[in-house]
Structure 1
Amino acid sequence: MKPIKTAICSFGISGSVFHAPFISVNPNFELYGVWERTKNNARKRYPDIKTFRSLEELLADDNIELVVVNTPSVTHYDYAKKVITSGKHLIVEKPFTATSSQARELIGLAKKEGVKLSVYHNRRYDSDCKTVEKVLKDGLLGKVVDAEIRYDRFDPELSYKTHKEIPTEGVGSLYDLGSHLIDQAIHLFGMPKAVFADLDSLRPNSRVVDYFDVKLFYASHRVTLKSSYYVKEALPGIVIHGTKGSFIKPKGDVQEAELQAGKIPGTKDWGLEPKSQEGLLHTEIKGAIVKKKIPTLRGDYMEYYKGIYEAIRNNKPLNITATEAMHVIMVIEAAQKSNIEKKTIDL
Structure 2
Amino acid sequence: MDFEPDAIRRFRHHPSPGVVKDAPSRHALEPLRARYQRKSLAQAVEHRRPGPGRQLQRTGGESIDAGRAIAHARSVSSTTLLVNPVASIRFAARELHAIAAACIAQCAHRCGPPSRQETGDMPSQMNHSARPIRVALIGYGFASRTFHAPLIRSVSRLSLALVASSRPEEVRADLPGIAVEGDPMRAVVDADVDLVVIATPNGTHFALAQAALRAGKHVVVDKPLTPSLPEAIELLGIAQAEGRLLSVFHNRRWDSDFLTVRQAINDGLVGDVRHFESRIERFRPQVRDRWRERPGPATGLWWDLGPHLVDQVLSLFGWPDGVQASFARQRDGATTDDWAHVVLSFGATRAVLQVGMLAAIPGARFVVHGTRGSLVKAQPDPQEPQLIAGVRPGDAQWGIDPGPLQWRGDDGTLQTRPALRGDQSRFYAELAEAIAGDGPNPVPPEEAIRVMAILQAADDSASQGRSIVPQAPG
**TM-score when scaled to structure 2?**
0.70
1:86 alignment counterpart: 215
* Structure 1: distance between partners of 2:145 and 2:295: 26
1:227 matched residue in structure 2: 355
Contact 1:271/1:298, CA 8 A, preserved across alignment: yes
Cα gap change, 1:46/1:166 in structure 2, threshold over 3 Å: closer, same or farther? closer
**Alpha-carbon shift at residue 316 of structure 1 (Å):** 2.6
Are 1:170 and 2:298 an aligned pair?
yes
* Superposition deviation, residue 57 in structure 1: 2.2
The structure with the largest alpha-carbon Rg is: 2
1:306 & 1:8 partners in 2: Cα distance?
16
Task: Classify the secondary structure of the residue corresponding to 1:177.
Answer: helix
Match of 1:260 in 2: 388
Off by >6 Å, runs of 4+ in structure 1: none
Report the CA distance between 1:315 and its aligned residue. Answer: 5.1
Distance apart, 1:90 and its partner CA: 0.8
- Please point out which of 463, 467, 470 is paired with 1:340: 463
SS at match of 2:285: coil
Q: How big is each residue's C-alpha offset from its partner over 1:239-289, in whole Å with a ceiling of 9 and x where there is no partner?
A: 111100111001321111111011222212211012xx21211114xxx44
Alpha-carbon distance in structure 2 between the residues aligned to 1:234 and 1:38: 34
Out of 432, 436, 440, the position equivalent to 1:309 is 432
Matched letter for residue 302 of structure 1: S
- CA shift at 1:346, angstroms? 0.6
Letter in 2 for 1:195: V
Q: Which residue of the partner structure matches residue 44 of structure 1?
A: 173
Contact 1:40/1:51 (8 A) holds in 2: no
Distance 1:97 1:60, change over 3 A: closer
Which residue of 428, 447, 451 corresponds with 1:328?
Answer: 451
Instruction: Please tell me whether residue 68 in structure 1 is matched to residue 197 in structure 2.
Output: yes
Which residue number corresponds to residue 74 of structure 2?
none
Map of 1:137-156 to 2, 5 A cutoff?
137-156=266-285
- Could you say which residue in structure 1 is the equivalent of 2:405? 279
Report 1:197-208 matches (<5 A): 197-208=325-336
| Letter in structure 2 aligned against 1:149 | S
1:18 to 132, 138, 147: 147
Distance 1:217 1:94 in 2: 23
1:34 offset after TM fit, Å? 0.3
Deviation of 1:38 after TM superposition, in Å, equals 4.4
Q: 1:27-79, CA deviations, whole angstroms, 9 ceiling, x for partnerless residues?
A: 11111110022423223333222111212321342221111100011111111
Q: How large is the RMSD of aligned CA atoms in angstroms?
A: 1.4
How many Å separate the matches in 1 of 2:279 and 2:466?
22
C-alpha contact 2:135 2:195 (8 A) present in aligned 1: yes
Letter in 2 for 1:157: Q
CA contact (8 A) 2:188 2:208 kept: no
Give 3-state SS (helix, strand or coil) of 1:51's partner: strand
For residues 243 and 103 of structure 1, the distance between their equivalents in structure 2, rounded to whole angstroms, comes to 38
Q: What is the CA–CA distance in structure 1 between the aligned matches of 2:188 and 2:326, rounded to whole Å?
A: 41
User: How big is the shift at 1:290?
Assistant: 3.7
How far residue 207 of structure 1 moved from its aligned partner, in angstroms, is 1.5
The residue matched to 2:281 in structure 1 has which SS?
Answer: coil
Q: Secondary structure, in 3 states, of the residue corresponding to 1:253?
A: coil
Which amino acid counterpart does residue 373 of structure 2 have in structure 1? Answer: G
For the residues of structure 1 that align with 2:234 and 2:211, how far apart are their CA atoms? 13
Q: In structure 1, list runs of 5 or more residues that go unmatched.
A: none
Count of matched residue pairs: 341
Deviates more, 1:10-19 or 1:221-230: 10-19
Residues 1:239 and 2:367 are matched in the alignment: yes
Larger helix percent: 2
Choose from 144, 156, 165 the match for 1:27: 156
Work out whether residues 130 and 297 of structure 1, in 8 Å CA contact, stay in contact via their aligned partners in 2: yes
More strand by share: 1
The match for 2:6 is none
Q: Secondary structure of the residue that 2:342 maps to in structure 1?
A: strand
> Do residues 100 (structure 1) and 229 (structure 2) align?
yes
**Contact 2:137/2:198 (8 A) holds in 1:** yes
Aligned to 1:293: 416
Q: 2:318 aligns with which of 190, 193, 207?
A: 190
SS in 2 for 1:90: strand
2:337 maps to 1:209: yes
SS of the residue corresponding to residue 130 of structure 1 reads: helix
Q: Higher relative contact order at CA 8 Å, sep ≥6: structure 1 or structure 2?
A: 1
Moved more, 96-105 or 235-244: 96-105
- Checking the alignment, whether the CA contact within 8 Å between 2:202 and 2:224 is kept in structure 1 is yes
Tell me the residue number matched to 2:253.
124
Do the aligned partners of 2:136 and 2:188 also contact (CA within 8 Å) in 1? no
Secondary structure at the counterpart of residue 17 of structure 1: helix
DSSP 3-state at the match of 1:298: coil
Equivalent residue for 1:181? 309
Q: Which letter does structure 2 place at the counterpart of 1:184?
A: Q
Runs of 5+ unmatched residues, structure 2:
1-128
- Give, as a single letter, the amino acid of the residue that structure 1 aligns with 2:442: N
